Each structure stands twice: as structure tokens, then as C-alpha cells.
Amino acid sequence: MLLLTLLGNPVAHSISPRLHNSVFKALKIDACYVRKAVEDSEALLKTFWEMNLSGANVTVPHKEAAYAQCDEVRGLAKQIGAVNTLVREGTRVIGYNTDAEGFYMSIQAFEPLNNVLILGAGGTAKALAVILKERGLNVTILNRSHARLEFFKTQGFNVQTWETFSPQAYDLIVNTTSAGLKDEALPCPLAFLEAIFPQTRFAYDVIYNKPTPFLALAEQNHLTCKDGKEMLLYQAVLAFDLFFAQRYDRENVEALMRPVFDL
């Protein structure tokens, strides 16, 4: 039997095992997806080999450590500097980032897009910014503090802090901060959102397990809104594809995972 897992800390509430195991069950694949809490970032690959895994997903706070420990990194993960998917190839572990492509797949209904504002400058913002730029969109990153903006600056993005920012029109505004996850905070000053929303068509929040004040305000302003559920779904579909070397029909895998979210 093939063993796959989610590596992170915490992992207890993740729905990744349900997503993958529902496909294993339906397609009678002899595999099992579990969760493994890992405290020490440096022990990721050691854990991978000790568990004799075929593949794994990596979540907070280990995506950057996973990138550093892989034998090889492929695709956009190289520019992002973080991996969320590990695949065993013989005696080597290959790292990929499916968050970026997963996000991009989830905004197809928002086309056409030109100008995007990303709120936040953490690991998720990196994945989103890199793929949007790669697909030819203009991306501005707005963060409350300066330090994490350095990565984006060196890659040629337009970067702003709350001190330097002046609101303008965007096609899409995306919240990648954790504001609203465990509190009722907005990801930036209310005055910015009040100025931006009337000039913006689409709002997206990568948070997927609760309605956030950011999306509630966007809805009040009649923007077309989306939360992070489909991004989570698509990153899992793409990871599944990598785990099994594209052996299974992607649309069928997606259809089998969708009911887990009630989508």
C-alpha cells in the first residue's frame, strides 16, 4: 500500500486526508493519506524517509524549509521559494508548488484580468504573485510592514506599505493575510477598501473555513466574491496528479474531491 501524508504543524483540522482518501476509495487505489505533525522544520525529509512515503503535502510553517531540503525543485516553485508537494522518484524527493496553479485555476471565471492588488506578503502571496506575473498580469503587493516586501521588490513587483499606498482601480483584490482567520480584523485600513471596492470587480480571500470581514465588505459593495475553497481543492487535484504521475483523469479526480467541500 502507498502511504502519503500532510506534513505541518498544526495538521489536526486539515481536510487533505478526506480529499485524497475519497478518491482512493472511489477508484480502488491501494493507498492511504494521513496527517503527521512535524515540529522541527529541519526534520521534514528525515520524516519523509522514515515513514517510507510515496508523496506528501507540506503546510504551515514548513513550505520554505521543504523547498530547501528537496533533492530537486521543479516548475514555478523555483521562483516562489516554497513547495507544498513532495513526490518520491526512486531515491530522490522532488518538490513542487501547486498552491500557485491551484489559485490560478480557481480564478478562471474572473477573466479577463489585468491589474491585481494582493494584500499581504507571506508565503501565499509569493505563490499568487509569481503565477499572476508569469501569466502577464500587473501585480501590486500591499503589506502593513516592510520586511517581507523585499522578496517582491527584487522580483520587480510594485510594492507598497500602508504608509506609501494610494488606492486606485483594480480588476481583482486578493486577501492573503491571516486577518479575519481568528478575529474580525480587516487586512488593511477600512479607508483603503472603501476607496478601492467601488472601482474593483472581483474580491478573493484565500481563507476558506469562515466568512471573513473582508469578503463581507466586498459583498456589501456588490463585488463578485470568492473564498479559498476552490484554491484548496485545485491544489489537491494537482498534487494528486503529481503523486500518481498523471495516471488518473484529472476531471474525475476533481469531481470525486468536490463533494468534500460541498462545492
State the residues that interact with ligand NDP by CB under 6 A.
60, 99, 120-125, 143-145, 148, 176-179, 181, 185, 187, 206-208, 228, 231-232, 235
Cα–Cα nearest to 164, from 189, 194, 137, 127? 189
Query: Which residue in the block uniquely carries the three cell numbers 515513514?
Result: 51
Cα–Cα nearest to 60, from 119, 104, 18, 16? 16
Burial label, 82 (beta-carbon count in 10 A; 0-12, 13-18, 19+): buried
Q: Which residue type does 97 have?
A: N
Least distance between ligand NDP and beta carbon 26 (Å): 22
Least distance between ligand NDP and beta carbon 125 (Å): 6
Least distance between ligand NDP and beta carbon 51 (Å): 23
Angle at 21 between CA 16 and CA 27, to 5 degrees: 140
Residue 201's contacts (CB-CB under 8 Å, 6 or more residues apart) are 110, 171, 172, 223, 224
Told to judge if 126 belongs to the known catalytic residues of this protein, a careful annotator would answer no
The active-site residue, picked from 63, 126, 226, 229, is: 63
Helices (H) and strands (E) in the chain, counts: 11, 12
Least distance between ligand NDP and beta carbon 84 (Å): 8
Q: DSSP labels for 194-255?
A: HHHGGG-SEEEES--SS--HHHHHHHHTT-EEE-THHHHHHHHHHHHHHHTTT-S-HHHHHH
Least distance between ligand NDP and beta carbon 135 (Å): 18
Which residue has the closest beta carbon to ligand NDP? 122
Q: Quick one: 92 or 189, whose CB is closer to ligand NDP?
A: 189
Q: Quick one: 71 or 165, whose CB is closer to ligand NDP?
A: 165
Q: Quick one: 69 or 235, whose CB is closer to ligand NDP?
A: 235
**Residues forming the active site:** 63
